[in-house]
């Protein structure tokens, strides 16, 4: 049972990570629903493991009270030569006891948790794919009015980060690739437009793309009735 709980907990963490990376509202909604389903199942299994055991059975490990977690999706950022600065808005955070605000830093990650209502409700921002390395032991955070400022110490001083996460970089690259795709000219003959598109794909494609286009072209010419 404990192995199942741990596996489910890891699934929840991975889905939360996917939710943070998602950029489209519909995708966020779908992933959010799945995260909630997994969280409810995790709560159910955790409750089972906390029930009294029969005589002779090994008592289960103690579990922490289940806290309703709200994932933070948005943040602002800035940078200097030494630090990446992440600004996270949490209403009333400046009024909370210091021990209800924590942040764990990794080489390319951080997890900010704000327990807004003790043992009941918290907000969390978890980034596991920072664009570049940071120095965890030299990174820190500061609480301001309705805001938590995270100071991520850059591993390479003076290096400019164009993005915060590698996911943002990949999304930007995918968008650029999409814009580069050849478009059919509606004003030209359909056959001419198609030939122009295939030629552009052939010229800009890799060896596999060129091989595929050449094979398709040869097969079309070999068909009975082909000019």
Residue 107's closest CA among 133, 128, 69? Answer: 133
What are the tens digits of pLDDT across the range 5-41? 677 777 777 777 777 777 777 777 777 777 777 777 7
Where do runs of H (alpha helix) occur along the chain?
Answer: 2-21, 25-49, 166-180, 190-204, 207-222
Res 126: pLDDT: 94
Find the domain containing 179 and state its range: 166-210
Q: Are strands 110-117 and 121-127 parallel, antiparallel or unpaired?
A: antiparallel
Q: Which residues contact 135 (CB under 8 A, 6 or more apart)?
A: 153, 154, 155
State the total domains in the chain.
3
Name all contacts of 30-37 with Cβ < 8 Å and 24+ positions apart: 32/71, 35/71
CA distance 8 to 162: 35
- Kindly give the interhelix angle for 207-222 and 190-204, rounded to the nearest 10 degrees: 140
What are the tens digits of pLDDT across the range 81-94? 999 999 999 999 99
Res 120: pLDDT: 85
What are the tens digits of pLDDT across the range 143-182? 999 999 999 999 999 999 999 998 888 888 877 777 776 5
Q: Are residues 18 and 7 in the same domain?
A: yes
What are the phi and psi torsion angles at 111 (to 5°)? -135, 110
DSSP 48: H
- Going from the C-alpha of 16 to that of each of 116, 126, 153, the distances in angstroms are 19, 8, 24
CA distance 202 to 110: 43
Query: pTM here?
Result: 0.53
What are the tens digits of pLDDT across the range 140-153? 999 999 999 999 99
Q: Are residues 171 and 156 in the same domain?
A: no
Q: Are residues 93 and 171 in the same domain?
A: no
CA distance 98 to 137: 19
Domain of residue 84, CATH code: 2.60.40.790
Q: Are residues 127 and 77 in the same domain?
A: yes
Q: Is residue 215 part of a domain?
A: no
Q: Is residue 189 part of a domain?
A: yes
């Amino acid at each position: 049972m404990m192995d199942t709980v741990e596996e489910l907990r890891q699934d929840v963490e991975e889905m939360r990570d996917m939710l943070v990376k998602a950029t489209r509202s519909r995708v966020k909604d779908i992933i959010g629903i799945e995260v909630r389903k997994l969280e409810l199942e995790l709560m159910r299994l955790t409750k089972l493991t906390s029930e009294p055991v029969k005589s002779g059975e090994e008592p289960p490990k103690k579990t922490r009270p289940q806290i309703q977690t709200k994932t933070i999706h948005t943040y602002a950022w800035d940078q200097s030569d030494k630090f990446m600065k992440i600004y996270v808005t949490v209403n009333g955070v400046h009024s909370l006891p210091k021990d209800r605000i924590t942040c764990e830093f990794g080489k390319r990650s951080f997890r900010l948790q704000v327990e807004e209502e003790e043992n009941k409700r918290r907000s969390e921002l978890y980034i596991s794919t920072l664009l570049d390395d940071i120095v965890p032991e030299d990174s820190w955070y500061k609480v301001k009015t309705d805001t938590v400022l995270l100071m991520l110490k850059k591993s390479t001083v003076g290096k400019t980060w164009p993005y915060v996460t590698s996911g943002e970089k990949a999304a930007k690259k995918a968008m650029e690739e999409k814009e580069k795709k050849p478009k059919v000219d509606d004003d030209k003959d359909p056959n001419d437009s198609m030939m122009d598109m295939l030629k552009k794909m052939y010229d800009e494609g890799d060896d596999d793309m060129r091989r595929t286009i050449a094979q398709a072209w040869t097969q079309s010419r070999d068909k009975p009735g082909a000019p």
